[in-house]
Each structure stands twice: as C-alpha cells, then as structure tokens.
C-alpha cells in the first residue's frame, strides 16, 4: 500500500487512549474500508502499545498505521524514546511531528521538529508536521507570522510532497470541542499554501495541508469543503469507528 498525495487525508490521532480491547474499532474500520471504494488516505495513530496489533489487523487493507512521535536518531541511550527505524520496523508508514501537545509538554523547538522529520524521511516514513498558533498570538493578530515561522524552521530540505504533510491545528482548539471558524481556517490554509510557494520549499508544488482541531462528524463536511483543506487530523472522534467512518464519508 502506498500513500497517494493526490488524495485527501483522514487521520485519527488516538493520543493516550486505547487498550488491547480497542482492536475491535480497527477491525470495524478495516471492514468498512474493504467494502467501500476509497478516495482518501486513511491513517490511524494509536499509542505505542497498540501499534503492532493495529499493523497486524490492517495488513493487506487500505488502512495506514502511524506513530504519534519519534526521536531524531535511530538508536542510542535515549530511555523512553522510540526511533524512526523502530517505527518503520513495526510496519508504520506515517509519523506525527510537532503536535502542539508534544511541543508544549516537552518544550520542543521547530528546529528539533525539522531534525525529526529529516530522520523519518531517511527511514522512508511520511511525516505529518503540525503547526498552529496559540490563543495569545491570535488575539494579537500575529497568527500568520507565528505559523510562517514554524513552517520555515520545522520543514527540512529532505521534504517533498511524497514524504510530508502539513497539519494546521490552532493550539487553542485542540481538545476543547471548539473548532476554528471556517473563515479563519480558509485564511490560514491559503496563507500556508502561499508561504510554501513563495519560500520555494516544495518548488511550487506544496503537499497536502490538513486541518486539526476538534474535528467531528458534525463539522467535518463543512471543514473539508474549504479551499486548500486537503483532509483532517481527528482527535477524540477517531476513537469511535462509527464516528470516524462518518468523517471519512464526508469527503
């Protein structure tokens, strides 16, 4: 199975949720994907403890499995870390990098995100690089500059449309149940595309830019219909396969 950058992305980030019994949700999802023609790339990012189980369930299906983060080197004395080489060995295809929760709790810089992304690319993994402003920057009207700076520092020279996806997720909308206004999403996604084109990072051929921030079955159709929104990074709503399938169907 291969990632198709010409198709939108519906990704589910399970965060620190899910036990072994949660496999039933993935089985339902795999069954749905097997019985319906897909016009999108569907990815689930389980906690590390479930990656191997989910990969085994998803094998030979249209479901990708990814990791929620990784270290910037392949091996070494880094207790508690997981390397891109290990992630690839498990059968993953994608890695989320720079999620706001990771940036904040671990105080990760955009420069470190770039190093992680380069490491994932060397291991033939596709990185979903997250960017997004905090509430203070938006209140001050500095959200465009904030995101531009993140993009400039977070994307390595190894990035191309086949190994990189950009996820815009305003920090103030993560886990709050409050999605950004549709107009704000449209403005930011247009800005991201323009910035990537102007900076020549992708040689005027920008990758998929997806939206994350309290996406659910009720608002997904409106969000995914916005220009330059090429998919969604879904949080809590991806834990329930029935809810997640509705989001997939809203493409």
What CA–CA distance (Å, rounded) separates 68 from 89? 15
CB 216, CB 247: distance < 8 Å: yes
CB 47, CB 68: distance < 8 Å: yes
The single residue listed with the structure tokens 């329930």 is 240
Q: Which residues are catalytic?
A: 99, 169
Angle between helices 110-122 and 143-154 (to 10 degrees): 40
Write down the number of H helices and E strands in the chain: 10, 8
Q: What is the pLDDT of residue 79?
A: 97
Please tell me the pTM assigned to this model.
0.96
pLDDT surpasses 70 at 175: no
Q: What is the pLDDT of residue 192?
A: 98
Domains of the chain: 9-249 (3.20.20.70)
Q: What is the pLDDT of residues 106-143, one digit of tens each?
A: 889 999 999 999 999 999 999 999 999 998 999 999 99
| 235 known member of a binding site | yes
| 13 known member of a binding site | yes
Q: What is the pLDDT of residues 8-22, one digit of tens each?
A: 999 999 999 999 999
| 81 known member of a binding site | no
| 236 known member of a binding site | yes
Torsion of CA 237, 166, 161, 51, to 10 degrees: -40
């Amino acid at each position: 199975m291969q990632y198709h950058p010409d198709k939108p992305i519906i990704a589910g980030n399970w965060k620190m949720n899910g036990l072994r019994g949660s496999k039933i949700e993935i089985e339902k999802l795999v069954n749905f994907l097997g019985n319906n023609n897909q016009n999108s790339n569907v990815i689930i990012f389980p906690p590390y403890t479930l990656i191997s189980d989910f990969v085994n369930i998803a094998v030979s299906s249209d479901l990708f499995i990814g990791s929620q983060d990784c270290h910037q080197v392949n091996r070494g004395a880094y207790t508690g870390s997981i390397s891109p080489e290990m992630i690839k060995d498990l059968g993953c295809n994608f890695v989320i990098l720079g999620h706001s929760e990771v940036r904040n709790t671990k105080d990760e810089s955009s420069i470190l995100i770039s190093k992680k992304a380069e490491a994932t690319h060397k291991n033939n993994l596709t990185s979903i690089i997250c960017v997004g402003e905090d509430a203070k920057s938006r209140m001050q009207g500095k959200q465009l500059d904030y995101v531009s700076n993140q993009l400039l520092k977070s994307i390595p020279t190894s990035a191309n449309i086949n190994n990189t996806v950009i996820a815009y997720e305003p920090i103030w909308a993560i886990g709050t149940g409050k999605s950004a206004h549709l107009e704000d999403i449209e403005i930011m996604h247009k800005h991201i595309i323009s910035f990537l084109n102007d900076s020549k990072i992708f040689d005027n051929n920008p990758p998929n830019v997806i939206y994350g921030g309290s996406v659910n079955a009720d608002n997904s159709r409106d969000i995914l219909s916005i220009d330059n929104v090429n998919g969604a990074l879904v949080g809590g709503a991806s834990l329930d396969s029935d809810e997640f399938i509705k989001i997939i169907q809203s493409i």
